[in-house]
Structure formats: C-alpha cells, structure tokens
A and B are shown apart, each in its own frame.
Chain A
Amino acid sequence: AQKVTQAQTEISVVEKEDVTLDCVYETRDTTYYLFWYKQPPSGELVFLIRRNSFDEQNEISGRYSWNFQKSTSSFNFTITASQVVDSAVYFCALSEGGGADGLTFGKGTHLIIQP
C-alpha cells in the first residue's frame, strides 16, 4: 500500500529565510503522481504542484521550487525568501496510477513564518 511521510510536524523560521519541507513516499506502482497542497488558516486546500513519476525534472515557480528524486523516493518543497503569507500547513500527497482511490496524504507540516 502507498504511504506518504512528512517527518517535520512543525517548522518555524524568520521571514526571508529559505525553508525546505520534506516528503518521502512509498509505492509499488511504477506510474504515480505526487502533489503538494497548501492549507492556510482559512482552511481551504490550495493546489500547488502535480508531478508524474516519469518526470524527474525539478520545477521552479517564483519563490517555490520542488526537488523530485526517485532514487530516494522524495519530493521536497523549498520556499525561498519566505514571507509571512507562506504560513500554512503544507501537505504532500500521492496518487497511484493503477487505482482509482484518490490521494494518500502525509500528515502535513505546519510552517510558521515569523516577521
């Protein structure tokens, strides 16, 4: 069965610092999809990125970047020059290609950006 581990329960940094959120996954499928979602204090889930297992290219979007490494089964998320508005709970999730049963989520990392 698939599993997603976010070992960092809570991270607190001062504004403008860089921060990396770790995500390690387990799956037996060769085709799978990895996601990151942001959950701000208001509670909604905001989609950040989707990556399929055949695309190991790292991605950068503004201050956000993602490092996908199949060799270590990791899909880490880095925020550069963090801002107070980045404060949220961030979830990593996995969807296996062979089944229809949706996303398996990690427990989330609560990121606190202090001014």
Chain B
Amino acid sequence: NAGVTQTPKFRILKIGQSMTLQCTQDMNHNYMYWYRQDPGMGLKLIYYSVGAGITDKGEVPNGYNVSRSTTEDFPLRLELAAPSQTSVYFCASTRNRQNYGYTFGSGTRLTVV
C-alpha cells in the first residue's frame, strides 16, 4: 500500500496565482484532512471530509477550497495565493477514529513570493 500520497512535494507560487495540492489514499479511509504547519507552530486544520461528497471547514479555511468526489482523493485548492499561505501542507486520513490512528502524507512545501 502506498498510504497517503501528496503531490507536489515542493512548489513556488507567485502572488495571485492558483494551484491545487493533490492528496490520494489507497486505504479506503472515510475521513480525510488537510493541515498546514507554520514554523514553530503545530499543525492547524484547514478542511476535513468524513466521506465522499461531504466536506467541512476547520480552524483556518480562508483562502482555500476542497472537494471530495471520491473516497480516494481530497484535493486542496488555493485561489489567489498570498504570502500568508507559505507553509507546509499535510494531508491525513483515517478509517475510524475510535480504533485507528491517522496516516499522514509526506507534505507539500509551498512558498508564495
């Protein structure tokens, strides 16, 4: 199993550009999450999904959008990138929070200049 796969690993964007961070899991997990990690800070939740077709905002959703058309994929869209979105982004998934842990992707390091 590949687990949780994130692409790209690195990206530099110019202010105002848009991009999509891809996240795919092959474990048939229902729950998926997007976090961002800023220097010296813990991870903060951007959006999450409890299943295909269902998404909800986390702590820091402004400037981002998500969709969940399939169980496997949970892309994160950045519209009109701003320097404040410079961060490391992690995608995570879990089958059942009561009995399983969370599996994290390897992260995407995004710089907005």
By a beta-carbon cutoff of 8 Å, the part of chain A in contact with chain B is 4, 6, 9, 33, 35, 37, 43-45, 47, 50, 52, 91, 93, 95, 97, 100-108
Chain B's interface: helix, strand, loop or mixed, by majority? strand
- Given known contacts A45-B90, A100-B48, A102-B48, is B43 in contact with A33 (CB within 8 Å)? no
Could you say which residues of chain A place their CB within 8 Å of the CB of B74?
Answer: none
A49 CA to B50 CA, complexed, in Å: 23
Contact A97 B98 (CB under 8 A): yes
Contact A91 B31 (CB under 8 A): no
Size range of the chain B interface in the assembly: 20 to 34
CB-based nearest B residue for A49 = B101
- Given known contacts A33-B97, A43-B88, is B45 in contact with A101 (CB within 8 Å)? yes
Q: Is B76 on the interface with A (CB-CB < 8 A)?
A: no
B80 to chain A, nearest CB (A): 26
Instruction: List residues 22-67 of chain B with CB under 8 A from any CB of chain A.
Output: 31, 33, 35, 40-45, 48, 50, 56, 58
Q: Is B92 on the interface with A (CB-CB < 8 A)?
A: yes
Could you say which residues of chain B place their CB within 8 Å of the CB of A101?
Answer: 45, 48, 56, 58
